[in-house]
Chain A
Amino acid sequence: MLKTRLIGLVLVKDGIAVQSVGFSTYLPIGVPRIVVKYLDRWGVDEVVLLHIDGVAASTENVRTYSGQSQTPLSVGGGIRSVDDVKRIIHSGADKVVMNASLVSSPEVVTAAATLFGSQCIVASIDARRSGTDYEAYLDGGRRATGLSPSALALRAETLGAGEIFVTSIEHDGSRRGYDLDLVESVKEAVTIPVITAGGAGSAEHIRSAIARGVSAVAVGNMLHYTEHSVTLLKRQLVRAGADIRIDSYVSYQGTSFDLDGRLAKLSDENLEHLRFRYFPEEVI
């Protein structure tokens, strides 16, 4: 069975990985290369790395991001031309994420999809609630399109995109869960996989998105500041019955969690058992 993917979202602004709140407040995290490396070692299913300052990633940037990681990597932000796409794919990314081009230069999206295949092109759509409906935005939430996210998603699919990455601007960094109505509206409009992003604050938020049938869930801020954050989150999801992959060497099998998602203390019996177990260093 194909598993629902847990995507690690890395936002890069002026060369630094940041957390984002509401597309307006940014908190520094550190060097993007290190963030990607840890996500890889902790067993994330895919990495989406976005240059949110609108400056496309250079060859050197992408080489550094992909150099120490054996995880599928999508790179986006500031991609305007087919040459940008070529450069990013040839320097080690597996997919590119496109946003403004969907409206301002749709021919670039189609040309890139013809050249590298649809599986290489992810269309990113940022949306804000407007009245009872939603409106799609470009350029990091600054430019309104006048289109609904589902209409833009359908247009992206027609242009040749292979996946749709939907972010709720209001939910971004809020830790109150994904905007599932928004995701649902996009999912109904297209036949290609839909990824939900913006607002994950607990394993329960992610589980309910998976239950809605999204192909992948993107998690950003929640994965910072915690050792083994990806593995811990995946273990909680598996305990809650989600069908996802845990392959990392440290897998937290048999551990339980408290209501806030923190690791619960192991039982005395379990601790006693661990005293006599040998954990050799992993050799591949």
Chain B
Amino acid sequence: MAEITIVNYGMGNIGSVANAFRRLGATWDVASSPAQVRTARALVLPGVGAFRSAMRNIRELALAEALTDAVLTRRVPFLGICLGLQLIAEESSEGGPTQGLGWIPGEVRALEPAGELPVPHVGWNQVEFLGTAPLFNRIDQAAHFYFDHGYALRSGDSVVTATCDYGGRCVAAVQRDNIYAVQFHPEKSQRNGLRVLRNFLTIAASYATADNRVVC
């Protein structure tokens, strides 16, 4: 069975994420039905596009409950990328108020950078890690990652593990138990991005062995 299951809800650039995992030598498959999500060992939720249509697609495919069950009840390791980070928040104002999956506290709002900086926030920005997080193992403080977003998560410090500066503080990564999510695109961030994905594979593998121990 594949190490990683990439969730396809018709919005993400699945190909790029799959390419990056392929380069790391990992096995992956793509899930677009609740049944496929239920058997996943680790889940990746990529995403490019608007919050509202993404949530609509997820609900239409009946993925919301399957994902919530897998991540919150079965505690399957989860990585959200870009829109995938925003979707796990409580709600977003993009395209009208929309409820998210609500796994982490906080809401998604339009970026309002100070000093007439252009929105969306596109390009390579430096990320500051707050404390040590397993997802950023072997990555230097202030490493560069590729960002491309017009909305951002606003959340309390309890779940934020990394930030960047774009006319003010901007959430770059969050973590809560087995839930990991990043606002930047690790699949488009060259070496540092591959390290993030490698770290997630390591995390996923540690969950898998822990699981086996319980079964034995």
Mark A residues whose CB is within 8 Å of B: 1-3, 5, 40, 43, 45, 63, 66-72, 89-92, 94, 116-120, 162-163, 191-193, 215-216, 245, 247-249, 282, 284
14 contacts between A and B (CB under 8 A): A2-B125, A3-B123, A3-B124, A5-B123, A45-B123, A70-B187, A70-B190, A70-B193, A92-B15, A94-B13, A117-B48, A119-B148, A248-B191, A282-B191
Whether B98 is near chain A, meaning CB under 8 Å from some CB there, is no
Residues of the B chain whose Cβ atoms lie less than 8 Å from the Cβ of A92: 13, 15-16, 19
Encoded as 1 (CB less than 8 Å from any A CB) or 0, chain B from 78 to 120 comes to 0000000000000000000000000000000000000001101
Residues of the B chain whose Cβ atoms lie less than 8 Å from the Cβ of A43: 190
- Interchain CB contact under 8 A, A67 and B121: no
Residues of the A chain whose Cβ atoms lie less than 8 Å from the Cβ of B150: 117, 119
Residues of the B chain whose Cβ atoms lie less than 8 Å from the Cβ of A117: 48-50, 120, 150
Residues of the B chain whose Cβ atoms lie less than 8 Å from the Cβ of A70: 19-20, 23, 187-190, 193-194
The CA of A53 and the CA of B86, in the complex, are separated in Å by 40
- How many residues belonging to B are interface residues under a CB distance threshold of 8 Å? 37
Interface centre among B120, B124, B192 (most CB of A within 10 A): B124
- Interchain CB contact under 8 A, A66 and B16: yes
- Interchain CB contact under 8 A, A116 and B48: yes
SS class of chain A's interface: helix, strand, loop or mixed? loop
Beyond A66-B19, A70-B23, A91-B15, whether A119 also contacts B120 by CB under 8 A is yes
Given contacts A116-B49, A216-B123, 16 further A-B contacts (CB under 8 A): A2-B121, A2-B123, A3-B144, A5-B123, A5-B124, A70-B187, A70-B193, A90-B15, A91-B15, A92-B19, A116-B48, A119-B148, A162-B120, A163-B122, A215-B118, A248-B190
SS class of chain B's interface: helix, strand, loop or mixed? mixed
A251 to chain B, nearest CB (A): 11
